Each structure stands twice: as C-alpha cells, then as structure tokens.
Amino acid sequence: MAVLASWVWVLIGYLSAAVAENSNPSSLYPPFWEDTSGEISGFALEDGKYIINPWVFTDRMGLYKILLSKTAPYFAKYGPENEQNLLWGLPMQFGWQYRTGRLVDPTGRTTCGYKTFDELCVSVDSWWADVNYFLSVLPFLAAVDSGILGISSDEFTILPPPLDESRFCYNVSDCKKLVGEIMDSWTTFFQYMQLPSSDFDGLLQHLWAAHTASLEYPISVFADSVRYLAKANYKY
C-alpha cells in the first residue's frame, strides 16, 4: 500500500508541476486527448444509441475522459483543476501503451495499430490492449451502474472486437455475470466516492482494490498472448 501511495503522489506532483511550468499544457496529456469527448454525446449516434468502439483508441480514451470529467467534483477539495483525481493514472498508462507500440497487432497478420495504416486501431491480439479493456470499459460500466455519471446503460452500445468476443463483456448485466468481482470492486469505489465522509486515503484503498481485482481475470484468460511479449514486458 505504501508503494502505491508513493506512486500516486509522484504522479500528482508531476502533473501539478508540469501544468504550472509548461506553456503547452496539452502536451502533458495522453495522445489524442484533445480529440476525445468528455461527454457521451461525443460518440456516434445510431438508432437512438451512442456507439462506443473500445477497439478504436480515441473511443476507449473517451471513456477515461468521461470518468475524469464526471468525477472531478469529488476531487475538487484535494486540489485545483482536477489534477489530483486518482483516475488520471489509467489514461496516462493507456497513452504510454499507445506511444510505445504495445497496442498494435503483434502477430503481423493485420495492420491494426500501425501508424502508416490504421494508427487508431487497438488490436485484440495485443495482450496489453486486452488487459487494459478491464481497466477502461469495466470501470466505465461500473460508474454507469453506480449512478455517478448520470448516464443510463440504455443510452449506449459497446461494440465487440473482431475476434474472441466471448472473452469480453459489453454491458452492466453481462459483466456482472462474467467478472462480478471486478464490477463489484469498481462500483464500491464509485459509491464510496459519493459519500460525504469519503477521504483521499479511503479513495486510494478502494481504487487499489478495484485495480488489482481487474487484473486477475484477463491475465489468466489472455495467457496465450504472452508469447508475443518480450520477456521484459511480462509484468503489467
């Protein structure tokens, strides 16, 4: 727990100092941050529902932006400009995965993720992308279920990947059946956040519980993709 706390405060300190000193704050954010919407209405609308494709980089990043935007009021007492929102670590990590080429198709069978072809494509064959799904789509769905986003689950549809559809879930009810522990952990985090008695240490503890719960299922299920990783990248 002490290690996690140290990491969080290092991240917060970095963001605070960088925002204060950098004349171009947009360069501090993850890739395409300015191109993503912080509202559900920013997604394409089809047949009365917003379509979210988490296998497109900007769509998945958009889920993070909504989470950060809607939870900002609960972190206002800890610092200005939402800079101490604990959820910042998630889009920052996803952005790092993009910048370092970890979201491309490692098999070479498709051009998914390669800059000269389809740079916004997130490959279902990428171990990093698959594990991150449970640290992006699942927190979003749990936040919807908790009521903190003010969004109904009937308002949107999450699209499946082109392969291995059964390994993922796409709505609140199905995710509760497939990975109930993950959903429960994130829902508890968002419910605690809304309590008047919540504090930063409590938020940190609940976030850590949700984060670690999110890893067990995908690390087990996508073990077959580990063969595409360099040995130095086995740790998530």
CB burial of 166-202 (b: ≥16 within 10 Å; e: otherwise) equals: ebbbbbeeebbebbeebbbbbbbbbbbbeeeeeeeee
What is the CB neighbour count within 10 angstroms for residue 26? 8
pLDDT at site 111: 94
- Would you state the structure tokens that stand for residue 161, as one six-digit string? 């990947």
pLDDT at site 27: 65
β-strand pairing of 49-52 with 44-46: antiparallel
Q: Is residue 100 within 8 Å of 93, Cβ to Cβ?
A: no
pLDDT at site 20: 44
- Tokens 């930063």 locate to 200
Tens digits of per-residue pLDDT, 6-63?
A: 445 444 444 444 444 444 555 689 999 999 989 999 999 999 999 999 999 999 999 9
d(CA 54, CA 227): 23
β-strand pairing of 49-52 with 156-158: parallel
Which runs of consecutive H residues, i.e. helices, occur in the chain?
A: 2-21, 57-75, 89-99, 127-133, 137-146, 172-178, 180-193, 200-221
Residue type, 88: W
- Would you state the structure tokens that stand for residue 226, as one six-digit string? 């580990």
pLDDT at site 165: 97
Residue among 85, 92, 111 nearest 33 (CA): 92
d(CA 71, CA 89): 14
- Would you state the structure tokens that stand for residue 125, as one six-digit string? 């064959």
Residue type, 100: T
Q: Is residue 40 within 8 Å of 119, Cβ to Cβ?
A: no
What is the CB neighbour count within 10 angstroms for residue 105? 21
Q: pTM for the complete prediction? A: 0.88
Radius of gyration of the chain (CA): 17
Share of the chain above pLDDT 90, in %: 79
What is the mean pLDDT of the segment spanning 104-120?
A: 91
